[in-house]
């Protein structure tokens, strides 16, 4: 089984949402994701890319978005995801691993997720 998910987001849209609702960041992102973004010049750019990854993974898995069940973690070869809860259960049931790719510019952030069967 192979499945793909993709998502695109206007960065300023997320910035405005985070300004209006200060607790939104805690609901959408793990502590490690927030810390990673906070260490960057424009944190919302990095949070937007991570939100897109969460959406893309959810789409690829065929699940509703549960943002804290898909955590983007830095790696030696680029970012990867750590799944928990229903997202981890679904990936295990399907026998798949998840690969992601993130990108962002001045205005937009995007991510793609690819599910690939183990073995």
Helix (H) or strand (E) holding 109: strand 108-117
Cα–Cα distance measured from residue 97 to residue 44, given in angstroms and rounded to the nearest whole number: 27
pLDDT tops 70 at residue 85? yes
Q: What is the mean pLDDT of residues 19-33?
A: 95
Task: Please count the other Cβ atoms lying within 10 Å of the Cβ belonging to residue 118.
Answer: 9
pLDDT at 22: 84
d(CA 94, CA 17): 34
Q: How far does CA 88 lie from the centroid of its chain?
A: 14
Q: How far apart are CA 110 and CA 116, in angstroms?
A: 20
Contact 9, 110 (CB under 8 A): yes
Q: Which residues contact 60 (CB under 8 A, 6 or more apart)?
A: 3, 4, 5, 98, 113, 114, 115
Which pLDDT does position 98 carry in this prediction?
Answer: 96
pLDDT digits (tens, 9 = 90+) for 42-77: 999 999 999 999 999 999 999 999 999 999 999 888
For 72, the enclosing helix (H) or strand (E) is strand 70-73
> Sorting pLDDT into bands at 50, 70 and 90, what band is 118?
confident
pTM of the model: 0.95
């Amino acid at each position: 089984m192979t499945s793909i998910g993709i998502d695109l987001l206007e960065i300023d849209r997320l910035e405005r949402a985070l300004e209006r609702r200060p607790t939104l960041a805690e609901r959408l992102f793990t502590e490690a994701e927030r810390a990673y973004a906070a260490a960057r010049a424009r944190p919302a750019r990095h949070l937007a890319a991570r939100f897109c990854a969460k959406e893309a993974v959810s789409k690829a898995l065929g699940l509703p978005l549960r943002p804290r069940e898909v955590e983007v973690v830095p790696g030696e070869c680029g970012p990867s995801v750590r799944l928990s809860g229903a997202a981890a259960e679904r990936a295990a049931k399907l026998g798949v691993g998840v690969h992601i790719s993130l990108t962002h510019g001045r205005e937009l952030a995007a991510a793609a997720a690819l599910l690939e069967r183990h073995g």
